[in-house]
Amino acid sequence: MRFPFVLLRGLFLLSFVLSFLTGPIGCGTLKHPGFPKQSYNEDDELEKLQKLLNTTTMIKVYYGGNSPGALEGKEDTSKTQAVDPAGATTEGGSPEKTSRSESPRRTKVKRNEIITARLLLIDKFYNRFIGDFSKEKQGLDTLVDVATIGVDLAVATVGGASAKAALGAASAGLTGSKLSFDKNFYFEKTISVLITSMNAARKKALFPIKKGSKRSLEEYSLGDALQDLNSYYLAGTFVGALQAMQVDAGAKEKAADIKIAKFRDESFFKKEKQERVEAILPSIDTLKPGVALDLLTNPPVKDDDGMKLVNLRDTGNRRNKSDAVAKRLLKMYIIYTGRSEEEISAWESAITAGQ
Amino acid sequence: MPGTIKTREKLDPKVSKEDLEREIQLRLKAGAIKVTVEGEGKSRTLITEWNVIGEND
């Protein structure tokens, strides 16, 4: 008996209807498969946040609106004085300690508000990106799998060689299209590696932002923060993930080791000497600007290994631009210099003079 | 560019464990990310790891 074409078409339709009906059952939620439902409406909240946290306007206000030189970061002093001639206050009215680069409009609090707003939006969009991707991939998997099962069942139940052949071809077409989709767009399993890499790169990129937000405006300007925020955003892209993987691979290949020529005897580790060095470390944080760099350039105690380490650790010469970096390097350098009475005293005198 | 730099310092066998424990704490306070002691006797070595500025900070 010939298999009726109408019945064949009906089976196709049935299998697709089944796929839509059973798809959500298989993955819990069709919207974001594998993701538990949030306690709020993500789309709605994201839309509201975008309106509330208009970071472009916040940055504009921070730099003085449309005043001349706003883009260069120059303060519109006439406006500032009109707003608050008495001095800097926070939004809540409490006085805020100001530094040379601060103004009522441009404060550490305002800078951190912009950072927090940007971070929040980047994170929200990243979550949606990962969720949407999962939806596309797993949704298609489920749909095609169920449709294939439906067609395969039809193959088993209908009679007639021609009908079986037609349905078999349809089943192969469905699995074939899925295979093509996977290979062409999502590089099969590599996608999970990319997500892992993106998460790791984002975590790494977040560190300087968190650290910087604790620093003063002189040490970490909004411009610095915006650059770091851009790096944070890029870390959450496929391109960023691939770059991070390449950098990590390169770094592992070139792990730098330095053999310190000196042989450390027990006098180097005497408790009294260690305590004196330990007391010097926090004093470095209170050195006047530029002193740490001066002490690194002309240290009171010379040490070739220590200097070699400074140069290797700071190949970009960031110490010349950042006092914080110079202080970090100075703390390390002191650790490697000799610990004779004269040498420790020389450090103590130099640090005291630099306060 | 390497992400970290390690230094290796040969230690006198007479250096006590207590001295080294204090030294490890001192170096961590100075910003080292990892300090370990490897080997025994004359081959005992103090290994200190520092991050490269701008790489992991």
CB-based contact B54 A277, cutoff 8 Å: no
- In this prediction, residue A110 carries a pLDDT of 85
Distance CA B57, CA B55 (A): 6
Please indicate if any CB of chain B lies within 8 Å of the CB of A165: no
Contacts of A312 in chain B (CB under 8 A): 5, 52
What is this model's ipTM?
Answer: 0.95
Q: State the DSSP string of A189-219.
A: THHHHHHHHHHHHHHHHHHHHHHHTTS-TTT
- In this prediction, residue A148 carries a pLDDT of 55
Contacts of B55 in chain A (CB under 8 A): 251
- Sorting pLDDT into bands at 50, 70 and 90, what band is A136? low
Strand-strand pairing, A256-259 and B4-10: parallel
Distance CA A149, CA A141 (A): 12
Q: How many helices (H) and strands (E) does chain A have?
A: 14, 1
CA-based nearest residue in chain B for residue A306:
B7
Please indicate if any CB of chain B lies within 8 Å of the CB of A214: no
Nearest to A251 among B2, B29, B31 (CB): B2
CA triplet A24, A26, A28: central angle to 5 degrees? 60
Please indicate if any CB of chain B lies within 8 Å of the CB of A208: yes
- In terms of Cα–Cα distance, which of A103, A112, A48 is closest to A78? A103
Return all residues near A83 (Cβ < 8 A) that are at least 6 apart. A104, A105
Task: Give the distance from residue A339's alpha carbon to the nearest chain B alpha carbon, in angstroms.
Answer: 13
Are A84 and A104 contacting, i.e. CB atoms less than 8 angstroms apart?
yes
- Sorting pLDDT into bands at 50, 70 and 90, what band is A17? very low
CB-based contact B5 A262, cutoff 8 Å: no
CA-based nearest residue in chain B for residue A324:
B53
Average pLDDT of A167-194? 58
Task: Give the distance from residue B28's alpha carbon to the nearest chain A alpha carbon, in angstroms.
Answer: 10
- In this prediction, residue A130 carries a pLDDT of 81
Question: Helix A190-212 vs helix A222-235: angle between axes, to the nearest 10 degrees?
Answer: 170
pLDDT above 90: residue A332? yes
CA-based nearest residue in chain A for residue B51:
A313
Distance CA A344, CA A280 (A): 9
Comparison of pLDDT for B30 and A199, the residue scoring more: B30
Encode pLDDT of A220-240 as tens digits: 988 899 999 999 999 988 888
Distance CA A250, CA A194 (A): 17
* Summary mean pLDDT of chain A: 73
pLDDT above 60: residue A155? no
Average pLDDT of B4-30? 94
Q: For the CA atoms of A83, A87, A88, A94, what is the dihedral angle to 10 degrees? A: -110
Encode pLDDT of B18-32 as tens digits: 999 999 999 999 999
Encode pLDDT of A62-104 as tens digits: 877 654 444 444 444 433 333 333 333 333 333 344 444 556 6
Which residues in chain B belong to E strands, given as ranges?
A: 4-10, 34-38, 45-51
Radius of gyration, CA atoms only, chain B: 12
Are B50 and A309 contacting, i.e. CB atoms less than 8 angstroms apart?
yes
A17-26, A87-96, A127-136, A260-269: segment of lowest average pLDDT: A87-96
pLDDT above 60: residue A176? no
CA-based nearest residue in chain B for residue A267:
B15
pLDDT above 70: residue B46? yes
Please indicate if any CB of chain A lies within 8 Å of the CB of B19: yes
Phi, psi of A72 (to 5 degrees): -85, -5
- Sorting pLDDT into bands at 50, 70 and 90, what band is A194? confident
CB-based contact B5 A269, cutoff 8 Å: no
Comparison of pLDDT for A164 and A204, the residue scoring more: A204
